[in-house]
Amino acid sequence: MDQITLTGMDFYGYHGCLPEEREKGQHFFIDLTIYAELQKAGETDDLSATINYASVYETVRAVVEGEPVRLIETVAERIAAAILREELGVQRLDVTVHKPSAPLGGPFRDAAVHIARSRS
């Protein structure tokens, strides 16, 4: 299956379990790998035969900048569900939500959740 990747999408959200995370917010970085059939788009140079990257980006933005949730697992699930619902050519996708400012109490580079979901 062909792939489209969007990496390092940076949005500001208010997700987390702690009150300060809900009040101050923080950056969340999203990586996506979308699996779809892209041969027709490549052969015809027809935008309507591929996945609209700008639409996917706005879908991700709406989730991350939208209603706060406690877990980045929930953010990832909402992103996957929205993309599978809206982008008909997507067969499968991998979503990684990075939370590099998670309050862990010590130095670390990144906290992230990765999920893989398919169209049923």
Say how far apart CA 43 and CA 26 lie, in whole Å: 42
Residue whose C-alpha is closest to residue 82's, from 62, 54, 53: 62
Catalytic hit among 99, 108, 109, 115:
99
Residue at 17: amino acid letter: C
Buried/exposed code over 77-96 (b: 16+ C-beta within 10 A; e: otherwise): bbbbebbbeebebbebbbbb
Query: Is 99 considered catalytic here?
Result: yes
Q: Torsion angle, CA of 76/80/81/86, rounded to 10 degrees?
A: 140
* Residues marked as catalytic: 99
